[in-house]
Amino acid sequence: MTDIKKDKPLSEKIETNVAGPDVGRRRIIKGAGAVTAASALSVPMILVPPRANAATELNMIAWYGHGEPDMVEEFEAMHNVKIKAKYYAGGDNMLALISQSPPGTYDLVLSDGEFVKLLKEAGYIEPMDPNEYNMGDLFDEYSHFDAHWMGDTLYSVIVRFGYLGVSFNTDIISHEEASDYNILWDSKLKGKVGHFDWHLPNLGCLSLRDGNNKPSPFDINSSKWSQLQETTLSLKPQVGGYFDYGGTFASLKNGEVYAMCGIGDWITGVVRKDGSPVDSVIPTQGGIQWTESYSIGKGSKKQDLAKEFIRYITSPKGQVRSIQMAAYPGMSPYKSGWTAINEANPEEAKRQRMTFDGHNCIDDLREGRIHFRQTPVQQSLEDWNDFWSEYKNA
Amino acid sequence: MPIVIWQLIFFVFPLIFLVVLSFWLVKNYRMVPGFDTINWVKMFSKGYFWDAYWRTLGYAGVATIVTSILAFPCAFALAFKVSPKVRRWALFFLIVPFFTSYLVRTYSWQIFLNDNGIFNTLFALVGLGPFQLLNNFFGTLVGYLTLCLPLVVVLQLISLANVDRTLIEAAHNLGCGRLRTVFQVIVPLAKIGIILGAVFTFILTFGDFVSPYYLGGSKPPTLSILIIDTTKSGQQWPRAAVVAIVMIVTLLTIMFASVAAAYRKRS
């Protein structure tokens, strides 16, 4: 005969044991222990927000400052997103960091205009649909910015720009004096001329001093290149040092350097806020332009959110933040950005010459005084870099 | 055995990779594995590379001599002239600077050394200056001393503290003058610590980037700055590897020669 009791399923057996009257002391103690442990583990969980509310992470690679709270906190709150920024110093550094990371690491890539083509060629960025962004709001000069388009395809959306010329200590040099690159050779600046340690903006400005403005200070033949090298080497006795980002700030602030070429308001705007007597000017021979723009990283899994961020930062609200970015200021290429900053901070709008009445910063472009910073056209980047190393050693 | 494994993983293998890297190429800012001597040829044919090499060697040499000379009287006094309690406190204060970042200490020197800085302000009070103390070799040397002087004092102190006092007394008893005792008895007996201190100074200053950049104004550049320049423009890591290998070979040569000198028995 079959013992019915023996054939009961296991669940039933357990149920019987737990509910039945023959519950042993050890079982009670064991059960109590389990309940205590479970309670202990679950109590802190009450304090942890449910997982559904955890912020999404959006990874950005950018110059310092673009991922700081003054730039992103509003967007983060609006979209329950956490922007995680990896900062670089210089386009070369950016390319290296991206090349060392697996595809899809960065959702947003902030780049200088001249590096967009290299990003595209290396396959690091996605094509973009211009209809998805505020392109119609751009000033004509930026509505089809060559550096961001490869044929008919857009690869980057401009956020801000600025000019590079001569930055100077206003206690030592007047505006008029600084409006000519030749001031750098003045005897009163012996040992007091500084360089931001990057060949491209420095050689670009000195090329303008040599009169190479057509078609571009970066598009020069071999004889003009030789002339530029001579000009640069003749400046050597005046040079007090070569500085990185922090060193440039410090040297202008503590009076160690009286003048620098190849930098602009992106540095002096911040130093001035600290009360130091410095300013920047575009000399009569012309100036260099930098631009910063956002692309979407190749293989990004959060492209919609990345697009949303680009729309935000190019919107009037985003542009007001960008213009006044704590790390370094920048001008807006968006008409609505100008309107917004004139309402939010008219003084800053005036300081950066983003006003609709009178001569403004876009007029400099229209007058042909400003040239886009680019990699050398007729020489290799290596030639320019080699010369810069020679110059530093001279 | 663990030390062998450690050295293999963290020194030998990376070094081998560095050598391999120096033969790679860079195309479109990306390193491409290969075997090409172009990086060696390019770097060795550049005048600025050799200028930077000899300059770095000179800077490190001067820093080594100055640091050793400045450290010795201090270490000597701590070893022979002060009470054990004072020595302990002095050791403590020599170690404390290492609690803060070298970069921060270097940056803080700018406040003292710049044209409107503390030193020039004090000089101005007595009608002197302003002197150029920053963005030149003097500034760099101040940075080097900040990095090395406390360490060298400690190394020399340990060596001097272990000098057999009876030998010093014997020298005095035999009519040896104070100065002669120092140079003919104490210095030879503390030779190992003194040379090790000098070697450490040379190694640290030869490869230092911070002082020549932030206090020397990168003017003119040293090899470590050249490495940065090379990697910054065009991602030329293979050429930077060439510079790094030259530096390592130089340091190994100097180090082996110095250690051999330190442990050489007197004939």
Residue limits of CATH 3.40.190.10 in chain A: 53-155+291-355, 162-286+373-393
pLDDT of residue B190: 94
What are the Cα distances from residue B61, in Å, to B64, B67, B79, B243? 5, 10, 26, 19
Extents of the domains making up chain B: 47-263
Longest dimension (CA), chain B: 75
Q: Does residue B40 have a pLDDT over 70? A: yes
Identity of the residue in A95, A191, A389 whose CB atom sits nearest the CB atom of B229: A389
Q: For a pLDDT cut of 70, what percent of chain B falls above it?
A: 98
Question: Tell me, what's the ipTM?
Answer: 0.76
Residues 219-238, chain B, touching A (beta carbon < 8 A): 219-221, 226, 229-236
Best of A254, A276, A381, A383 to mutate (most B CBs within 10 Å, chain B) = A254
- Mean pLDDT (whole number) for A284-294: 96
- Mean pLDDT (whole number) for B109-138: 92
- Mean pLDDT (whole number) for A312-335: 96
What's domain A53-155+291-355's architecture? Answer: 3-Layer(aba) Sandwich (3.40)
- What element of type H or E holds A58? strand A56-63
Q: Does residue B2 have a pLDDT over 90? A: no
When pLDDT is cut at 50, 70 and 90, the band that residue B71 belongs to is: very high
- What element of type H or E holds A43? helix A25-47
pLDDT of residue A131: 96
Q: Does residue B30 have a pLDDT over 90? A: no
The pLDDT tens digits of the residues spanning A225-269 come to: 999 999 999 999 999 999 988 889 889 998 889 999 999 999 999
Chosen CATH of A162-286+373-393 out of 3.50.50.60, 3.30.56.10, 3.40.190.10, 3.30.420.40: 3.40.190.10
CA gyration radius for chain A?
A: 30
When pLDDT is cut at 50, 70 and 90, the band that residue A20 belongs to is: very low
pLDDT of residue A204: 97
Q: Taking all residues of chain B, what is their mean pLDDT, rounded to a whole number?
A: 92
CB contact under 8 A, A240 and B219: yes
What are the Cα distances from residue B201, in Å, to A293, B107, B207? 46, 20, 10
CB contact under 8 A, B219 and A95: no
Residues 66-95, chain A, touching B (beta carbon < 8 A): 90, 92-93, 95
Q: For residues A100 and A80, is the Cβ–Cβ distance under 8 A?
A: no
What's the rounded Cα separation, in Å, for the pair A361 and A342? 14
How far out from the chain centre does Cα A68 lie?
11
The pLDDT tens digits of the residues spanning A353-372 come to: 999 998 999 999 999 999 99
Q: Report yes or no: A390 at the B interface, CB cutoff 8 Å.
A: yes
CB contact under 8 A, A388 and B46: no
Q: Does residue A4 have a pLDDT over 90? A: no
Longest dimension (CA), chain A: 118
In the 8-state DSSP scheme, what is residue A147? Answer: G
When pLDDT is cut at 50, 70 and 90, the band that residue A53 belongs to is: low
Question: Higher confidence at residue A386 or residue A313?
Answer: A313
pLDDT of residue A17: 39
Identity of the residue in B29, B46, B114 whose CB atom sits nearest the CB atom of A118: B29
The pLDDT tens digits of the residues spanning B185-222 come to: 999 999 999 999 999 999 999 999 999 999 999 888 99
Point out the least confidently predicted range of A10-19, A37-46, A140-149. A10-19
Q: Report yes or no: B104 at the A interface, CB cutoff 8 Å.
A: no
The residues facing A371 across adjacent strands are: A288
When pLDDT is cut at 50, 70 and 90, the band that residue B231 belongs to is: confident
pLDDT of residue A38: 46
How far out from the chain centre does Cα A178 lie?
28
What's the rounded Cα separation, in Å, for the pair B118 and B129? 12
Q: Does residue A16 have a pLDDT over 50? A: no
In the 8-state DSSP scheme, what is residue A112? Answer: E
Best of B233, B235, B236, B239 to mutate (most A CBs within 10 Å, chain A) = B233
- What element of type H or E holds A84? strand A81-88
When pLDDT is cut at 50, 70 and 90, the band that residue A392 belongs to is: confident
When pLDDT is cut at 50, 70 and 90, the band that residue A313 belongs to is: very high
Strands A157-169 and A278-281: antiparallel
The pLDDT tens digits of the residues spanning A152-167 come to: 999 999 999 999 999 9
| Global pTM value | 0.78
Q: Report yes or no: A375 at the B interface, CB cutoff 8 Å.
A: no
CB contact under 8 A, A385 and B229: yes
- Mean pLDDT (whole number) for A336-343: 97
CB contact under 8 A, B52 and A393: yes
What's domain B47-263's architecture? Answer: Orthogonal Bundle (1.10)
Q: For a pLDDT cut of 90, what percent of chain A falls above it?
A: 72
User: Which chain A residues are within 8 Å of B52, Cβ to Cβ?
Assistant: 393
Q: Does residue A41 have a pLDDT over 80? A: no
Cα–Cα nearest to A209, from A277, A114, A287: A287
CB contact under 8 A, A385 and B234: yes
CB contact under 8 A, A385 and B48: no
Residues 137-156, chain A, touching B (beta carbon < 8 A): none
Q: Taking all residues of chain A, what is their mean pLDDT, rounded to a whole number?
A: 87
What's the rounded Cα separation, in Å, for the pair A352 and A371? 18
Q: Does residue B157 have a pLDDT over 70? A: yes
Q: For residues B23 and B34, is the Cβ–Cβ distance under 8 A?
A: yes
What's the rounded Cα separation, in Å, for the pair A280 and A259? 9
pLDDT of residue A54: 67
Identity of the residue in B115, B218, B235 whose CB atom sits nearest the CB atom of A241: B218
What are the Cα distances from residue B66, in Å, to A39, B145, B148? 67, 8, 11
Q: What are the start-end ranges of the E strands in A94-156?
A: 108-112, 149-150, 153-154
What's the rounded Cα separation, in Å, for the pair B12 and B17? 9
When pLDDT is cut at 50, 70 and 90, the band that residue A91 belongs to is: confident
Identity of the residue in A95, A99, A254 whose CB atom sits nearest the CB atom of B114: A254
When pLDDT is cut at 50, 70 and 90, the band that residue A390 belongs to is: confident
Collect all residues with Cβ–Cβ distance below 8 Å to B52 and sequence separation of at least 6.
Answer: A393, B220, B221, B222, B223, B225, B226
When pLDDT is cut at 50, 70 and 90, the band that residue A89 belongs to is: confident
Q: How buried is residue A268: exposed, middle or buried, by Cβ count under 10 Å (0-12/13-18/19+)?
A: buried
What's the rounded Cα separation, in Å, for the pair B143 and B215? 7
Q: Report yes or no: A188 at the B interface, CB cutoff 8 Å.
A: no
The pLDDT tens digits of the residues spanning B133-152 come to: 999 999 999 999 999 999 99
Question: Which pair of structure tokens corresponds to residue A305?
Answer: 């959110």
